[in-house]
Amino acid sequence: MKILREVVAELFSMFAGDARLTIEVIALVILVALICAWGIFGSTMPGVLLLLGCLAIVAEAVVGEAQRREHERSQTFYKWDGEGKD
Number of other residues whose CB lies within 10 A of the CB of residue 71? 10
Q: Is the pLDDT of residue 21 over 80?
A: yes
Question: Does this model's pTM top 0.85?
Answer: no
Is residue 46 within 8 A of residue 36, CB to CB? The reply is yes
- Which of 33-42, 49-58, 77-86: highest mean pLDDT? 49-58
More confident residue, 1 or 5: 5
